[in-house]
Amino acid sequence: MSDPAIVTMTAAGAIDVTYRVAHVALGEFSRARSSARELSGKGVNLSAALTRADIATTAIVVLGDDDLAFAANSEHADILMPVGVPGSTRVNTSILDDAGATTKINAPTPSLSAQTWERVVRTTEQALDRESTRWLVLSGAIPVIEGRTPATALEPLLEAARARRVSVAVDTSGDALAMATAEGTTVALIKPNTHELAELTSRTLTTIGDVVSAARGILARGVGVVFVSMGADGALVVSDDVVVHAHARPRRIVNSAGAGDASLAGFLAGLGALEPGTAAFSDRLADSIAQAAAWGAHAIAQESTILPDLDSLPSPTVTVDPDTHQLLREPGFGATP
């Protein structure tokens, strides 16, 4: 596999169970035509997608001890660095219907002990010690951790990356995302969706211009690049000197679960070994957001949560400095401060 290596950390691993049904009606009986069970979690999905482009990656993931054998026999066992905890891994359920809708029910995120979190930090440090590592991606929900706040939980991971000159990307939400983007942050990249960006900035986002303005507010805090996955509205990347919108039409709409993870994988794959903050990095952002849109649209056409291949990717449409008045089909609504 080629350099650079990308390390993902998923504190809330999952087993994804996907059912395919004709239709779903609340309160009614439905019989699935098919079902599948796969190891998941945002960072696992991301790392698995990266392997499709022959990018070296390690996925650190917290899993229940009862499911470690299942993980060891999974397709992507060779990229996993599991951190085991007593019991079973949470199970997330996706229901796909013939209308193209995905109904997803995620189990509660289990809390972690202080000792478990220390093992997560140590395992991450070990993975980052590879000389070729370019990115650490903090993926998914950060559980309640004994004796820690989101700030005190994430700081050891951010410090480990800083000490090794590894760039950090954050794909989380809520308090953890607020902490990672606080004033003076050194995070190089965040990937919220429209709703998460609206919540983070306490804004209502109804146009492309609203999204750009909200992203610029985050850049002012010190974040290097804001990449917003916007569902049916495509993808947008905003940096100090770049605003690019990309959209790709999926061949069909089957399963939206995991599409955001696939799009982030495409974005990072497009950036390659380029160092954030450099002119070459900035010049690559347009191509990278185009690739992100293509990978995300391709993922939506698959039944599995994890991207199975990179065959027949859809062609994205790319617009530099898009029309700020363009209305969003899927607006985001933030809480009132």
In which residue are the tokens 């991971």 written?
157
pLDDT of residue 337: 43
The total number of structural domains that make up the chain: 1
d(CA 205, CA 210): 5
For 119, phi and psi rounded to 5 degrees?
-70, -35
For residue 151, what pLDDT is reported? 86
Residue owning tokens 């029309």: 323
- Which parts of the chain register pLDDT below 50? 1-2, 337
What does the pLDDT read at residue 1? 44
Could you give the CA distance from residue 128 to residue 35 in angstroms, rounded to a whole number? 36
Q: What is the pLDDT of residue 118?
A: 97
CA distance 47 to 262: 9
Amino acid at 216: R
- Specify the DSSP class assigned to residue 67: G
For the whole model, what pTM was predicted?
A: 0.95
How confident is the model at residue 132, as a pLDDT? 87
Question: What's the CA gap between 103 and 31, in Å, rounded?
Answer: 15
CA distances (Å), origin 313, targets 6, 287, 296: 22, 14, 10
Q: What is the DSSP string of 84-140?
A: EESSPPPEEEEEE-TTS-EEEEPPPPPPB-HHHHHHHHHHHHHHHTSTTEEEEEEES
Cβ pair 6, 268 in contact under 8 A: yes
146/165 Cα distance (integer angstroms): 29
Alpha carbons 333 and 214: distance in angstroms, whole number: 12
Residue-level pLDDT at 279? 97
Cβ atoms of 32 and 54 within 8 Å: the answer is no
d(CA 87, CA 89): 7
Contact 225, 286 (CB under 8 A): no
**Range of the structural domain that residue 278 is part of:** 2-333
CATH number of 193's domain: 3.40.1190.20
The Cα 229–Cα 211 span in angstroms is 11
Predicted confidence at residue 290, as pLDDT, reads 98
